[in-house]
Amino acid sequence: MSAHADGAAHAEHHTHYTTTGLDNRKIAIWAFIGSECMLFASLIATYLIYKGKSLVGPYPHTEYIDAAGKVFKPILDIPVTSASTFVLLASSFAMVLALQAVQLKGVPLPSGAGWWTRAQRSSQLWLAVTAALGTTFLGFQAYEFTAFVNEGLTIKTNLFGSTFFTLTGFHGAHVTVGVLWLMSLLWVDRTRGLAGPGDELLVDITALYWHFVDVVWIAIFTLVYLIQ
Amino acid sequence: MAHESAHVDKHAAHAHPNGATYLKIFVILTLITVVEVWAYYIPALVASPLFNPSLIIMSAVKFAIVVMFYMHLKYDHKIFKMLFSGPLVIAMATIVALLFLFRQLSF
């Protein structure tokens, strides 16, 4: 038996349908995502409640001059964050292509297929691209956090710092978990292949988590960075 | 029956958009983001009372597009829709209620 067929049989063996006919793992990930909605809602609500109530700067959108006359520019760097937002959106696109590649495994390529059609069939390529883009997003976040600390904003400086670092830090932690998850999936794909129906579900669940991390950032980008 | 249902679910799961549709969705998401950032740099727009609501609407549209097409909720089973939309409604109601409670929003 080939490694792929063996992997498929193994994955099929572990597929558990419930009385609804739905796989319990997929129900679990949606329930988890639902609970995560409430976690991030509490963090976003806390940020919004304390928005504009910091007694000292630096401030997100306006200049601040302290008692010693030191000038702090608005601290948010919109061009950098816009670039990181684009990177995360691109990672979601790569993730759907990874899932599509796994779903199309076993389906023969049409004759005369171009490079793009062939590229779309490589789950390893798209999983790697998604993980790389996720890591790039984390690099942007590390750069942003470092710049803020160098400019005098820490988690202890003011209410903005406390709520900002907590909210974006939690999101960054979720992206980190997602990147590790993607890399483990990539390792599985390289060692035994993701060819079975159970494997499709495995990638589907990973994709759901990854897209959720993306939609949370869509909300954060608008509420924290753009609304003044 | 469970197998039948599983078959239906699997069939529905395969009725997803293709690569070209995913690419179009990515372009739409990028364009909306570009409009959001462009608006941020126009002082007259920022000063407008419609600035914040329009940003929230654009963000909500992006959110919905990703959930419906990339997360395939548009094509998925209603149980998944309920598992997501139920907590989402509670989460949004909580945010709005807290903003009223702490007087960040008022009638």
Chain B residues whose beta carbon lies within 8 Å of the beta carbon of residue A19: 2
Q: Residue B90 above 90 pLDDT?
A: yes
The whole-angstrom separation of Cα A94 and Cα A88 is: 10
The mean pLDDT of B59-63, rounded to a whole number, is 95
Residue-wise pLDDT tens digits, A86-119: 999 999 999 999 999 988 888 888 888 788 888 8
The mean pLDDT of B56-67, rounded to a whole number, is 95
**Chain A contact probe: residue of B3, B10, B29 with most A CBs at under 10 A:** B29
Q: Residue B79 above 80 pLDDT?
A: yes
> Which carries the bigger pLDDT value, residue A1 or residue A40?
A40
The mean pLDDT of A66-74, rounded to a whole number, is 85
Model confidence at A5, pLDDT cuts 50, 70, 90, reads very low
Residue-wise pLDDT tens digits, A129-155: 999 999 999 999 999 999 999 998 999
> Angle at Cα A93 formed by Cα A100 and Cα B84, nearest 5°?
85
Minimal Cβ distance to A17: which of B6, B14, B63: B6
What are phi and psi for residue A17, nearest 5 degrees? -85, 145
Q: How far is CA A24 from CA A17, A127, B80, in A?
A: 6, 24, 11
- Looking at every residue in chain B, the average pLDDT score rounds to 84
pLDDT at position A1, please? 39
> Angle at Cα A97 formed by Cα A93 and Cα A99, nearest 5°?
120
**What residues have CB less than 8 Å from A148, skipping those under 6 apart?**
A58, A75, A154, A161
Residue-wise pLDDT tens digits, B7-30: 444 444 456 778 789 999 999 999
Please tell me if residue A224 touches chain B, with a CB cutoff of 8 Å: no
The mean pLDDT of A6-23, rounded to a whole number, is 60
pLDDT at position A16, please? 65
Longest dimension (CA), chain B: 61
Model confidence at A15, pLDDT cuts 50, 70, 90, reads low
Q: Residue B104 above 70 pLDDT?
A: yes
> Which carries the bigger pLDDT value, residue B11 or residue B43?
B43
- Looking at every residue in chain A, the average pLDDT score rounds to 88
Interchain contact, A20 vs B58, CB within 8 Å? no
Quote the minimal CA–CA distance from B107 to chain A in Å: 16
Minimal Cβ distance to A30: which of B58, B80, B92: B80
Helices and strands counted in chain B (H then E): 5, 0
Q: Residue B6 above 50 pLDDT?
A: no
Residue-wise pLDDT tens digits, A145-198: 999 999 989 999 999 999 999 999 999 999 999 999 999 999 999 998 888 768
